[in-house]
A and B are shown apart, each in its own frame.
Chain A
Amino acid sequence: KAGVTQTPRYLIKTRGQQVTLSCSPISGHRSVSWYQQTPGQGLQFLFEYFSETQRNKGNFPGRFSGRQFSNSRSEMNVSTLELGDSALYLCASSSLNTEAFFGQGTRLTVV
């Protein structure tokens, strides 16, 4: 059974640009959550989607947004990138009776 797949693995962007990250959950998992991980702040919850609807949202500015498609694949978008957005972005998928399984993450560097 394939795990959670995140693409791309690495990304370099310039300040002011926008970026879209992709997450393909484990087959059958309908919940996808996104997290930001930085050395200074650790892991922080961004948002969670279930059946194409955002169910929960963390304390991040509106520049961070996401969506989920009918096949449960999810994307997150960050607009007007800032240097502080440099981080490892992780997504995790789960179903009703399972723990959350994380992908390998996308390492975003903003220069």
Chain B
Amino acid sequence: KNQVEQSPQSLIILEGKNCTLQCNYTVSPFSNLRWYKQDTGRGPVSLTIMTFSENTKSNGRYTATLDADTKQSSLHITASQLSDSASYICVVGSGGSYIPTFGRGTSLIVHP
């Protein structure tokens, strides 16, 4: 069964600090991995997408990494801002099916 596990479930950090969110998956065959940011009451917004051959992708202060061998991805946020407070969702696409597999997300709170 395809699964995506994210950790930690929630995280509280101080403004200006860095943090790393983890995503482990057991989706086969693997097609792509996306990280989304979802603000409270809004729809998810795509941050990065990576395919099998990519191991790093950056979008401003967000950097995603992918290790296809260990089936792990991380999202690193640099110099956090209050506006980074949101839920971060890891989504893995399967080459065998259009249906994506979602992680349950990491809730990040950035305090001043």
Q: Please report A residues at the B interface, Cβ cutoff 8 Å.
A: 4, 41-45, 48, 55-56, 58, 90, 92, 99-105
How many Å from the CB of B112 to the closest CB on chain A? 27
CB closest residue in chain A, given B6: A42
In contact, B98 and A55 (Cβ under 8 angstroms): yes
How many Å from the CB of A38 to the closest CB on chain B? 10
Query: Are A104 and B41 also in contact (CB < 8 A) when A42-B104, A44-B102, A58-B99 are?
Result: yes
In contact, A105 and B99 (Cβ under 8 angstroms): no
Name the B residues within 8 Å of A99 (CB-CB): 34, 46, 49
Q: Please report B residues at the A interface, Cβ cutoff 8 Å.
A: 34, 41-46, 49, 89, 91, 97-100, 102-105
In contact, A4 and B89 (Cβ under 8 angstroms): no
In contact, B43 and A104 (Cβ under 8 angstroms): yes
The contact sample of 21 A-B pairs, CB cut-off 8 A, is: A4-B43, A41-B104, A42-B102, A42-B103, A43-B44, A43-B89, A43-B91, A43-B102, A44-B102, A45-B100, A55-B98, A56-B99, A90-B44, A92-B43, A99-B49, A102-B44, A102-B45, A103-B43, A104-B42, A105-B42, A105-B43
